Structure 1
Amino acid sequence: MSTSQRRWAKGSEPVALDHAEAVIVDQYTRLVRLAYLTLPSSLTRHRRVLVAHSLVQRALPGFGTRRTASRASKIPLPRAGDDAREPGTAEPDTERAASAPPGASWTGTSWMTARVLCAALTHERRPRGWPDRLPPPRELLPTLPVVWGLRLFPRAGGTEEIALAQLLSEVSAPSRAAFVLCRLDGLPRAEVAELLTAAGVSDAEKALETACHVEESVGEAAGALLRSQEFDACSVQTRPTDLLRRRRRFRLVWCAVGIAAISSVALATLSSSAQRDEPERPAGVRPAISADALLRTAPDAWADTSRVDFTAWPARGSRADDRALLTRALSTWTKPPRGTRVGAGRAATTEPPSPSTQLLYAGVVGKEAVVLFHDDSRVVRYGEPSSPAEPATLDFSRADDSDVTTAAALVAGREDGKVRYLTAPWIAEARTRDLLKPNAPGGPLDVSGEGLTAPVDVPSATGPCDSLPVLQLRSSVKIVEKHAFLVTDLGDLTPAHLSYTPLPGSGVPSRQPREATSSTALVSWARGACRLSELRGNGVRSVNQWDFAEQDLPENGGRAVWSCVRASTWRGPGDVTLQFRTSGESATAPAKVVGRARSTAACSRFGQHVVASTRWTAGSGHRYLLAAGSRDVTRISVTGDVDADKRGRTLAVRAPQDARATVRARLTDGEELAEVGAASPRAAGRPASTASTASQRARG
């Protein structure tokens, strides 16, 4: 925080109007990007684009709300002199600047940046007593720009941009603003702190610390990622709203004009007829949106778009045009009647449908009428039993930032220990295979013309692990050639994607996760597949098994492979399990667990280094402490009851059964690495010069 004494301006317009306008015109793209990234991620991308433009355009003195104006009056005056003028802006108000106090050293750009920040940070603020179910007051006020008939959203970026957007959505708005100002604008820490304080942030230092953690996670590429098209709200794509719906509304207007000329008797007759034709819905409940307002994607849109996710799914099913069924589903979603069975996955909200709700499927699955929806961040399943005496079901799961694999299938129905999936339109072939039989070929699976599969066995959650059925899907050549991948049911509507990262090779770049369909991947997965049941109901998006090291065992004991299994969730954090398997065991014997860490970046692209240890007994009865590290580990040391130090990525040393030991590794850049499971979750899997030194009891 800057320690210089600050003097605050008294006037309501510290910057001349023409100077403020010049700053906005010159810095418009930067200010809009800052507002777009600072606004809450709960807004849709279309709404965030419009709100960001609105906040910047209303940042001119005299255009803000009372709250913004009162807070903006505390922003320091722009400094006087020619050096206070940015390139491309108008001359500042010299008379006003000359009267500025000596402590005020802000430019016009800083003043306008603080106004935009203040408006973005307070956008979702609700007055005391304001109902939580209602949008904030600012959302209820009509503000420019207004776009009719089009949806606006920035162009989609790559996987790195998506990962950064997910990371930013998990931190506070002041932290996002601090990260953008530091990494994109290159402002010094003291100036960022002043901007945040002037914008009304009570703890600017905490926001800066969080921004630093985000910067450390992203790395040097942060600036380039922030400048990408994913976050450029001034370079947007446009898509039309429902054209058929607009045509129907236009015709209804002309019908209303004609009906106005008809006699009251005829009008009463038409009104009573309309009431008789009104579809059934739960008593006293009106859906948040009508069935006609549901978004529907064209059947062939998936083959001609760069965004291959749930938004590319067309509306399918024999009852996709059943307005009565859709209305009942939307009414139940809006306010579930008493007795409705409602289930929500981890971090999935049960809020009423939004205007951007999309219809994916409506048809009969088994003994139920099923409707599937998607609304930007969730997938929703409505199940209506054939018997009126049985209650309806409503299930929610997160699905934001899905892709070609995580949006490849949805659970359409469960019955008698089996599940039926609705596959994506880009899936050309579906097969089943058993992870515990890596050498057995996959079996054929029937898929109907609308994408509904035959019943598939579900992995047992409580019984013996003698089979682990998974779904093997192959994408159409219109998406990518020869692309097959595995997914498995973990209790949510979206099956989890399974991937594999092979052992590092010598003299080649580090390996990246790939599909778990090769023979090597299947053999590796067979040793840890039974632990997938531990992840059920945790909102898991994908599971990657990374074989990070192999080791020759002492006394000619064979070979051992060290693995890190990372389960990444839809909400961002992930859990890791470290496993140790030897060549002398059965090909399907569960690997030994040697470490765990919760809510960690270890074994991900933001935590690419890992070291682990375990105890192993040779055939002679001698006990050993074994340790291994990932690709960039150059030395492993053991302290405590056992003292050893060795260059390389593996270590084996004789150790008593009850010896206490702490294992540390050193990386190629000289940093120290704590053992996963021995350090705090924040430090696990990352270089840490101050890693935990507490000793651990050797695992037997």
Structure 2
Amino acid sequence: MPLHPSPLRILGNGARLDVKEAEAALVEHYPRLVRLAYLTLPPSLGRHRRVLAAHAVVQRALYGGAPTAPGQGEGTVPAPRTAGSAGHGGGPQAPAYAGVRLRVVRSALAYDSRPRWWPARVPPPATLRPSMPVVRGLRLFPRAGGIEEFTLDRVVAEVTGPARAALGLLLLESLSEDSTRTLLGEAGAAAPADAVRVAGEIAGSDHDRVRTLLRSPEFDPCTVQTRPSDLLRRRNRRRAGTAAVALFAVAGGLALDAATGPGHSGPPAVAPRATPVVGALDPVALARTPAGQWADTSRVDFSAWAPRGGRTDDEALLARALGAWARPPAGAAVTRAPGTPDVPPAQSPRLLFAGDLGGEAVVLFHDGGVRVVRYAEPRSRGGVPELDFARVDDADVTTAAAVVVSRSGGAARFLLAPWIAESATRDLLTPDSPARPLDVDEDGVTAAVSGPAGGGGCGSWPVMQLRSSERIVEKHAFLVTDLGDLSPVHLTHTPKPGSGAPARQPREATGTDALVGWARTACSLQGLRGSGVRAVNHWQFAEQSLPGIRAGASWVCTRADTWRGQGRVLVQFVPPATSATAPAEVVADRRNTALCSRFGQHVVAATRWRSPTGAWYVLAAGSRAATGIQVAGSVRGASKGRTLAVPAPRDAVFRASARLRGGGTMQSVR
């Protein structure tokens, strides 16, 4: 990607800046500019294309006119050089570098934009995005970091492009919030103030730690690993191309014979031949994991499942399942979890199960990375086959522990992972009742497990309590529940403040405190059905004494993380009640947020509450880092602790905020 800048460009109305300085600044600070571009670019591009796009954005920063330094209006000249800006482009504060940085941010944000005529909420195709270099035969991606870097990457993927850019400008470029808002405005961001606010929520109070993570190899597109592209796909494409050419040649020859032969009413001279099944649709080529490999691998996920079931060698059934995946037959019932692609397999998938269950023949596949696919065909004639798609990327010992193989009458049967040593069921709404053993057959298929009641009822909430084999982890029991997708949802619990447990460390929800807490909030899971949820954490972030009575209340943040990376938060107020399963009050519902996660550690919430004497109050509470609470609006009040109670009219309009340890404030979540 050669650069051919002209020697001098006009900036604004008569202001000039030597483009050689801008080029020198670009070359001198190339790695930091590419890192900023990589962070700003949309994660939907994939790591390979983000690396290429980041380099393209920076290298093209001098095209189409000279870079304009931020904050220069019409008729102004660039700011005078400082000692640090002399020479080849100057330091990060020089006008030349500032102008290049502005153009890099503007170009990176363009990858998130869409043409005005393009439908809202529909991402534009790659052909409508700015172009990028093409690399054939290789895949490029930054070196993988640890769990903290991975978690930060998932959190950053949930926010908008301007928020990602703001995070990079604040932490990587060390700009102030005002300077960041100004730069984003000049780069064309729609709501710079909101972007800076979201970036501040991600950074939290420990800016140095998040800055260190952003400077790690996980976010460095200049230090990359290379791997070959999908060799099997390339081989299949070549074979498909050759087959297509041969097919056209044969078809042309037959057409010529038909046109020149003695007659056209008789049967064809050559009988039609079935198209051979090759590559990803060949049942013989299915990947099959050896039995027992799960106990001798560090990757305990669906890749460690050996095929099970009585029809794993039935090539006809497997061929029908693969064919239906590639091209669903007319009338087939196809369902997919949100964000799950239903395209045909790019390479031979892994066989997990093939067998008869009740009146169906069921086949389960794993495509090697992103999806689990279920195919079911009725054993009697006249039925319609079913196809279900679900995302399972980055599954682990808990989220790859079970898959739904059949549903009937509000109940489901699950295929358990080979590392599950014990299985039982329990009701979250009866925390004092012991778990009941769950029957599992020799193939790992459970007996029918009742699902949570539909239609808004919540008389019980069944869950499975599973325990992993001691061959991979000792005494590890956990809970999963069925929310309508192929993969059940992992339930966890974060201990309340003062429990002696480290802050913000989710753990398995099998202890007494966890079960008692889930009993009051389990019914809120109803609203998460069919939304592609991976795991839900129950965090009791505050306890509060209530005015006029001796009982207390608790505040809970229930965070649902989806397979596609987005999160949803329900903040719930749990007042004292005569029943241990009385549902909590949902006071806030926030989607696509980092709140209540590792990178959204602070939360403040408020609600109205009526005491047994009939008096109304505004109650508010904050998490561990809150040092004071304020309420403003038609009712006012303040406290120096983490909770507040203020007498108020029943219809009071208010807004709560909290002061945070280490400085800063946070508004209550709505």
User: Same-fold call, TM > 0.5?
Assistant: yes
Question: 1:438 aligns to what?
Answer: 431
Question: 2:155 aligns to what?
Answer: 167
Deviation at 1:592, TM superposition (A): 3.9
1:54-453 equivalences in 2 (<5 Å): 56=55, 72-76=63-67, 83-84=87-88, 106=96, 136=127, 143-144=134-135, 146-147=137-138, 154-171=142-159, 176=164, 179-180=167-168, 183-186=171-174, 203-204=188-189, 210=195, 213-219=198-204, 220=207, 221-233=209-221, 275=273, 278=276, 308-310=300-302, 313=305, 317-320=309-312, 324-346=316-338, 348-353=339-344, 355=346, 358-366=349-357, 367-374=360-367, 376-448=369-441, 450-453=443-446
Question: What is the SS of the residue equivalent to 1:84?
Answer: coil
- Check conservation: 1:496, 1:542, Cα contact below 8 A: yes
Cα displacement string for residues 223-249 of structure 1 (whole angstroms, at most 9, x for unaligned residues) = 222222433456566788999999999
Q: 1:42 aligns with which of 34, 38, 44?
A: 44
Closer/same/farther in 2, CA of residues 352 and 323 from structure 1, 3 Å limit: farther
CA distance in 2, matches of 1:556, 1:105: 63
Question: Which residue identity does 2:198 align to in structure 1?
Answer: H
Deviation at 1:37, TM superposition (A): 4.3
Deviation at 1:442, TM superposition (A): 1.7
Question: Which residue identity does 1:342 align to in structure 2?
Answer: V
- Check conservation: 2:89, 2:96, Cα contact below 8 A: no
Closer/same/farther in 2, CA of residues 155 and 59 from structure 1, 3 Å limit: closer
CA distance in 2, matches of 1:489, 1:28: 49
Cα displacement string for residues 109-148 of structure 1 (whole angstroms, at most 9, x for unaligned residues) = 986996899599669999x99xx9997499999944633x
Cα displacement string for residues 451-470 of structure 1 (whole angstroms, at most 9, x for unaligned residues) = 43332221111375333210
Cα displacement string for residues 323-346 of structure 1 (whole angstroms, at most 9, x for unaligned residues) = 554443344334433211122333
Matched, 1:625 2:617: yes
Q: 1:543 aligns with which of 513, 536, 542?
A: 536
- Check conservation: 2:425, 2:462, Cα contact below 8 A: yes
- Check conservation: 1:294, 1:359, Cα contact below 8 A: yes
CA distance in 1, matches of 2:192, 2:150: 22
Question: 2:510 aligns to what?
Answer: 517
TM-score normalised over the length of structure 1: 0.69
- Check conservation: 2:557, 2:569, Cα contact below 8 A: no
TM-score normalised over the length of structure 2: 0.71
CA distance in 2, matches of 1:551, 1:573: 27
- Check conservation: 2:109, 2:162, Cα contact below 8 A: no
Cα displacement string for residues 143-181 of structure 1 (whole angstroms, at most 9, x for unaligned residues) = 44633xxx7654543443233323333445576456446
Question: Which residue identity does 1:74 align to in structure 2?
Answer: G
CA distance in 2, matches of 1:86, 1:629: 49
Question: What is the SS of the residue equivalent to 2:414?
Answer: strand
Q: 1:579 aligns with which of 559, 573, 578?
A: 573
Cα displacement string for residues 399-438 of structure 1 (whole angstroms, at most 9, x for unaligned residues) = 3444443333222221232212233344333222221221
Question: 1:258 aligns to what?
Answer: none
1:465-504 equivalences in 2 (<5 Å): 465-477=458-470, 479-504=472-497
Closer/same/farther in 2, CA of residues 534 and 215 from structure 1, 3 Å limit: closer
- Check conservation: 1:368, 1:385, Cα contact below 8 A: yes
Question: 2:265 aligns to what?
Answer: none
Closer/same/farther in 2, CA of residues 72 and 193 from structure 1, 3 Å limit: farther
CA distance in 1, matches of 2:487, 2:596: 23
Question: 2:5 aligns to what?
Answer: none
> Which runs of 5 or more structure 1 residues have no equivalent in the other structure?
61-67, 88-103, 253-271, 280-285, 677-683, 685-700
- Check conservation: 2:39, 2:164, Cα contact below 8 A: yes
Query: Structure 1 stretch 114-123 or stretch 380-389: which is displaced more?
Result: 114-123
Matched, 1:459 2:452: yes
Question: Which residue identity does 1:380 align to in structure 2?
Answer: V
- Check conservation: 2:167, 2:203, Cα contact below 8 A: no
Query: Structure 1 stretch 414-423 or stretch 375-384: which is displaced more?
Result: 375-384
Question: What is the SS of the residue equivalent to 1:387?
Answer: coil
Closer/same/farther in 2, CA of residues 422 and 7 from structure 1, 3 Å limit: farther
Question: 1:596 aligns to what?
Answer: 588
CA distance in 1, matches of 2:450, 2:575: 28
RMSD (Å) for aligned C-alpha atoms: 5.3
Q: 2:12 aligns with which of 5, 16, 24?
A: 5
Question: 1:611 aligns to what?
Answer: 605
- Check conservation: 1:117, 1:177, Cα contact below 8 A: no
CA distance in 2, matches of 1:508, 1:205: 42
> Which runs of 5 or more structure 2 residues have no equivalent in the other structure?
1-9, 70-77, 241-269
Deviation at 1:203, TM superposition (A): 1.5
1:12-27 equivalences in 2 (<5 Å): none
Deviation at 1:550, TM superposition (A): 3.0
Cα displacement string for residues 482-501 of structure 1 (whole angstroms, at most 9, x for unaligned residues) = 32211100111221221222
Q: 1:562 aligns with which of 552, 555, 564?
A: 555
Deviation at 1:604, TM superposition (A): 3.8
Identity score, percent:
43
Closer/same/farther in 2, CA of residues 440 and 194 from structure 1, 3 Å limit: closer
Task: Give aligned pairs, total.
Answer: 604
Deviation at 1:196, TM superposition (A): 9.1
Deviation at 1:536, TM superposition (A): 1.6
Question: Which residue identity does 1:514 align to in structure 2?
Answer: R
